[in-house]
Amino acid sequence: MKKLFLLITVSILWSLTSLSQEKLNINIQKSTIKWIGEYTFYFGGHNGFINFKEGYFIKQNTVITGGEFIIDMNSITNTDIEEQKGKDGLVDHLKNEDFFDVKKYPLGKLVITKVEYVDKTNARLEANLTLKGITKPINFRAEFNYQEKELQTRFKIDRKRWNVNYESKFKDGAISDAIGFEVSIKL
């Protein structure tokens, strides 16, 4: 009888927890991922955008506790080069095997695994980032604006951890191993 009572109690608690969890799909038209690549030995570099293909947050009670986001690597653009030929050349280069190998790996993925709130709107997030078929843990800080239904964050990754191994042939044109991201996710 005790086992039956325990089983019923656990089942009720689990179902109550499940009911308070909500999946919130993001608005991919209003959400942005800006990438920033810089030179190693002098100021400057390149930047552009990559689009979300889909994504969602997990909301439990009144706070975000997780989420999963699919990134369309084919959508990568450049915004700092004005000449179309140069812009297209850089984008093609970023899609090649020595960068993101987009033909073989058209999607990236970020899965939030842990959210630790510093206060009501600021948190430290842990996530798994998949690029080029390689999944590595990352962590970053984010700010939630519940009124505007938005998350804002900035972070950098070491591109070599995901086998993005391009090396410039010119020492003064060497690119940093760090790639920066400025992300705005809206519901």
Judge contact between 45 and 34, C-beta under 8 A. no
For domain 22-186, which CATH number applies: 2.40.128.110, 2.60.40.420, 2.40.10.10, 3.40.720.10?
A: 2.40.128.110
Q: What is the pLDDT of residue 87?
A: 85
Q: What is the 3-state secondary structure (H, E, C) of 44-99?
A: CEEEEEEEEEEEEEEEECCEEEEEEEEEEHHHCCCCCCCCHHHHHHHHHHHHCCCC
Q: Where in the chain are the domains? A: 22-186
The more confidently predicted of residues 116 and 14 is 116
pLDDT tens digits along 130-180: 999 999 999 999 999 988 899 999 999 999 999 888 766 555 557 788 899
Model pTM score: 0.83
pLDDT tens digits along 67-105: 999 999 999 999 998 899 988 988 998 999 888 999 999
Q: What is the pLDDT of residue 101?
A: 95
Judge contact between 74 and 87, C-beta under 8 A. no
Q: What is the pLDDT of residue 127?
A: 97
User: Which residues does 89 contact at the CB level (< 8 Å), separation at least 6?
Assistant: none
Percent above pLDDT 90 for the chain: 64
Q: What is the DSSP letter of 10?
A: H
